[in-house]
């Protein structure tokens, strides 16, 4: 899904658009399997009771509530979280009802680094840490292929023709 062009400034283009890594969904999928398994098991147990229809309705409602809160909400949160690098800025957006976002102009970024542990390396993701002038470092967790994103962002920061350093050495 591409980032909407009408939200970009004139001449700005999207270089990279990512959602968090799929590892963020492992626990919600596990919850989904467990809830469905327990729901089927409980439905089989109550089928011979005299009030089986009422028990099935209660089990179905309980399973629906659990699936919504344990699977659907995290899935929507994952799907509506965006990490975007454009030719002018780095953007992070998340949320459906309470939408939050942050924009960091490339000219304000002073350093970019990444971290990933063993599990992150196995599944191919990590944490991207961006330091900008006069702010604490911003950490973006579960970025897929974080090393490539780090390299791309580093290149964008250093090749940005709008930064103050490029005007000093004569490039425009």
Distance between CA atoms of 108 and 111, rounded to whole angstroms?
9
> Residue 38 is encoded by which pair of tokens?
């327990």
pLDDT classification of 161: cutoffs 50, 70, 90: low
| CATH fold of 82-160 | PH-domain like (2.30.29)
State the CB neighbour count (10 A cutoff) for residue 114.
Answer: 21
pLDDT in tens, 62-93: 999 999 999 999 999 999 999 999 888 899 99
* Structural domain spans, the chain: 25-77, 82-160
pTM score of the predicted model: 0.76
């Amino acid at each position: 899904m591409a980032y909407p062009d009408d939200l970009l400034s004139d001449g700005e283009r999207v270089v990279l658009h990512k959602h968090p890594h799929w590892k963020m969904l492992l626990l919600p999928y596990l919850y989904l399997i467990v809830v469905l398994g327990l729901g089927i098991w409980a439905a089989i147990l109550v089928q011979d009771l005299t009030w089986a229809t009422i028990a099935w309705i209660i089990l179905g409602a309980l399973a629906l509530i659990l699936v919504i809160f344990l699977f659907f909400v995290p899935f929507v949160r994952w799907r509506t979280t965006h990490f975007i690098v454009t030719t002018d800025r780095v953007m992070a957006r998340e949320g459906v009802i309470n939408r939050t976002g942050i924009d960091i102009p490339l000219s304000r970024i002073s350093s970019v680094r990444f971290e990933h542990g063993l599990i992150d390396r196995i599944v191919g993701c990590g944490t991207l840490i961006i330091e900008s002038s006069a702010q604490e470092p911003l950490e973006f967790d579960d970025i897929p292929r974080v090393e490539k994103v780090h390299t791309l962002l580093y290149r964008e920061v250093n090749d940005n023709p709008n930064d103050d350093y490029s005007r000093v050495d004569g490039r425009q």
